[in-house]
Structure 1
């Protein structure tokens, strides 16, 4: 899942949910998409690929009332330029949950193989409630937007109680906002129905899918609800089978534990530049000392106060990619010298947040809080924070902390239960040391999907596998499946290669 910080009463979807999904879609009026030129800023600073088009699809707000109120879904298309090789459509989602209307620009910039671009029309979209789709908001203040959707590191029970008060206030604002009429209907379940509406509008019998991070949960939901309408499904950097729920949030702590040694090795190997330790163990010890010192005595910068909460959060945010390691090491070095760090390079997600922080952060709460059941007891959060602070001192007291989902209205539909009913057409790719969607969660999803899926793991760190970390073995697995549809006979592992760690 990307982050928004400076870096940023009906049937369940079991077998009955599948038939329900088909019935609902059959009763939904078929809409057409009128294609036109995309706004230039759709690509978040990246050039839009030649021939890319954008349009809008109207879908039911409530799929149980298909003739009722509608909302807009912003859709984009990068058509195949090779009719002889074109297979169909590839629905794409970058995770987050975040807007994905311009995701084609990211994939093309990351050198998606031409054979894949020839085989599919790449179909991007902004999930309901986000971006250029009918947007939602919670009227968040700047302070409420500060750490995005990531709970702050809690040093004690009082910090958890304070965060609980803030979370309850945000939940109440969301329920009272001008867009609260959408609140019960922004969910992965309805977003999957939107995907099937897009497929129908494009006149396709089936749709393939490529999703990353939170997009793996959306893809798993779509493949569960519409198993006979999914063609080839690639899930990259996988959440557990319940999506972004409290248990997956707590797994961030394990993810940071898995990933931090890569950063510590980099810093130790560059001791002359950073002076933070000659071994990875010394770097970790220095990190824990510095975080504790910043808890007591923050460093004031021109625009922000660097306390232990922000330091730990930036460490999490900047562990996504090897290219972020120098910037993070620079933060570490400056704060160790009691100096404010230089400005950090803005991440793609940070740019999106700056442009529409209230919508992005609010829509994420709408989505994830409707998708699962969260604990409601303050004492349970305080207990879990105390446990994880000891078990996972790097980030445990953040991952276990409370968020507004604890105070959310009861969802109108039960979340989808991911299962193994359907064709064997899901390929999962996963890094061993992913801070945001750790291997432990991916293994849970792999078990839930059963014989529907195979999983390819890569001996590398960071968030994102396909096209991002340049592991040739893992990239070849995903590309080959998209082109041939043949799953490996069994799960397998890719060793580290020349990719950055």
Structure 2
């Protein structure tokens, strides 16, 4: 169960002149103490203060929580390997322990693994939009199949208004570029001249942003399934709908081929209809299953998990079959994100609030409702499973901050990176990783033929892929050419 939860949580001229690191960065004293919510004594935490707005380094500051897992062999220590959670919206403080279960021991011997909760997430000055609970998956989404466009627009507008009321002070500074600058303050506070990095999905996009802003601080960067920074967010989210639809079709084919086990239908069409009818029922009245009644949004999250992670098809199919029959799921997957028990001060809706803050704040979304109506008319009809939700209007259309805050990848002049991808990744389709690898000159792309997301971090990397990562991080050896593993 812990492994399942870990997998699910893991859902671009000229060189830019990097801004000077504020004077407070290098002079900060880091007191390494026990990490709230983490019971492994090897991991220690400290707090770093960063400017709320890096364009005004003398102004208001906020706190960033940093964790450190020391190098296993100090005699061979190379430096620090940064990591954080994806999403955006997932915690990064526990990630060094997760990474320690993933990478080769030779990597652990040579690096301090340093994690951090990005600004406004969990331990790092968390924000709220004033909601009583998280959205399923920590991702605000509504499906046009179950409610009118007008009702969704009203909900989205109200949510954006609530966010402005509760977190308006933070929203202009909830951007990937600001978070990348936080990373450099952490680097300076640690006393490191350069840093290495290993992150997946959105975290990999953050790594790409850092390498664009601070190319001279980059040592060895591993980017596992990075979102293309140049297409995030609206264009990227529309572009991945076909991959979602394709992977969902593969899931229903698997379930149909195992009808004797799951009993959800003997053909893909029959499975799809069983799921559709159950979702429609749950949209009217949540389906009781044990001590929990499942909403359509929560069931939809389970479908997304299956769409993204091929290795979890048996788990999701088993759970759906149980829920549809009124029984509790045998291998429960919590549909709503939560901080680790014992983590203090995390608002009830923090992960959803942070996810929207970054996705809406990185750049301007279309403000005209007709843009979303047209997308629904086209993509909703062509892709009937995911089109009606992923093309729909959301709070970003009404966000109080609406400007481009991204750093074009074409300006990246960092040393070559190692970029990883699965060929049938629905969450971050392959072309995102290709674009990132091409933008960072000399980079190598390593792919595996899987319907999976973040193949290294989700445990779907084979010996070829994991060997490339180990060789690069320990010896600095990039593959001679792109690899198909």
Task: Give unmatched runs, 5+ long, in structure 1.
Answer: 495-501
For 1:498, the equivalent position in structure 2 comes to: none
2:159 to 170, 177, 187: 170
- Following superposition, the deviation at residue 14 of structure 1 comes to 7.2
State how far apart, in whole Å, the 2-side matches of 1:407 and 1:419 are: 29
- Following superposition, the deviation at residue 216 of structure 1 comes to 1.3
- Secondary structure (helix, strand or coil) at the match of 2:449 reads strand
- Following superposition, the deviation at residue 244 of structure 1 comes to 4.3
State how far apart, in whole Å, the 2-side matches of 1:154 and 1:317 are: 20
1:345 equivalenced with 2:332 (yes/no): yes
Contact 1:80-1:121 at 8 Å conserved across structures: yes
For 2:445, the equivalent position in structure 1 comes to: 455
- Following superposition, the deviation at residue 319 of structure 1 comes to 3.5
- Which stretch has the larger CA shift, 89-98 or 120-129? 89-98
Contact 1:249-1:399 at 8 Å conserved across structures: yes
For 1:440, the equivalent position in structure 2 comes to: 431
1:83 equivalenced with 2:74 (yes/no): yes
- Secondary structure (helix, strand or coil) at the match of 2:158 reads helix
For 2:271, the equivalent position in structure 1 comes to: 287
- Secondary structure (helix, strand or coil) at the match of 1:140 reads coil
The 5-angstrom pairing of residues 48-447 of structure 1 reads 48=40, 51-97=42-88, 98-110=90-102, 112-142=103-133, 145-146=135-136, 148-155=138-145, 159-177=148-166, 179-242=167-230, 244-278=232-266, 282-283=267-268, 285-294=269-278, 296-298=280-282, 300-301=287-288, 310-334=298-322, 339=326, 342=329, 345-347=332-334, 350-352=337-339, 356-411=347-402, 414-419=405-410, 421-447=412-438
- Following superposition, the deviation at residue 130 of structure 1 comes to 1.0
- Following superposition, the deviation at residue 28 of structure 1 comes to 5.3
Question: Per-residue displacement from partner, 1:53-106 (whole Å, max 9, x unpaired)?
Answer: 110011111112111111111001111132221111111123112110110111
State how far apart, in whole Å, the 1-side matches of 2:392 and 2:403 are: 25
Structure 1 residues 348 and 100: CA distance shift in structure 2, 3 A = farther
- Following superposition, the deviation at residue 296 of structure 1 comes to 4.8
Contact 1:14-1:416 at 8 Å conserved across structures: no
Question: Per-residue displacement from partner, 1:258-291 (whole Å, max 9, x unpaired)?
Answer: 423553454244332123445xxx22x1233224
State how far apart, in whole Å, the 2-side matches of 1:387 and 1:202 are: 51
- Following superposition, the deviation at residue 141 of structure 1 comes to 3.4
- Following superposition, the deviation at residue 311 of structure 1 comes to 3.6
Structure 1 residues 138 and 336: CA distance shift in structure 2, 3 A = closer
- Following superposition, the deviation at residue 151 of structure 1 comes to 1.1
State how far apart, in whole Å, the 1-side matches of 2:257 and 2:31 are: 52
1:39 equivalenced with 2:35 (yes/no): yes
Contact 1:6-1:344 at 8 Å conserved across structures: no
The two structures have a TM-score, normalised by structure 2, of: 0.87
- Which stretch has the larger CA shift, 431-440 or 350-359? 350-359
- Which stretch has the larger CA shift, 367-376 or 146-155? 146-155
- Which stretch has the larger CA shift, 145-154 or 358-367? 145-154
- Following superposition, the deviation at residue 215 of structure 1 comes to 0.5
- Secondary structure (helix, strand or coil) at the match of 1:350 reads coil
State how far apart, in whole Å, the 1-side matches of 2:280 and 2:333 are: 28
Question: Per-residue displacement from partner, 1:157-184 (whole Å, max 9, x unpaired)?
Answer: x63332221111111111111x421221
- Secondary structure (helix, strand or coil) at the match of 2:441 reads helix
RMSD (Å) for aligned C-alpha atoms: 3.0
How many residue pairs get aligned? The number is 470
For 1:497, the equivalent position in structure 2 comes to: none
State how far apart, in whole Å, the 2-side matches of 1:450 and 1:146 are: 35
Structure 1 residues 348 and 425: CA distance shift in structure 2, 3 A = farther
State how far apart, in whole Å, the 1-side matches of 2:9 and 2:410 are: 37
- Following superposition, the deviation at residue 485 of structure 1 comes to 2.0
Contact 2:364-2:403 at 8 Å conserved across structures: no
Contact 2:437-2:444 at 8 Å conserved across structures: yes
Structure 1 residues 445 and 425: CA distance shift in structure 2, 3 A = closer
- Following superposition, the deviation at residue 139 of structure 1 comes to 0.6
Structure 1 residues 25 and 461: CA distance shift in structure 2, 3 A = same
State how far apart, in whole Å, the 1-side matches of 2:340 and 2:232 are: 19
- Secondary structure (helix, strand or coil) at the match of 1:301 reads strand
- Following superposition, the deviation at residue 133 of structure 1 comes to 1.0
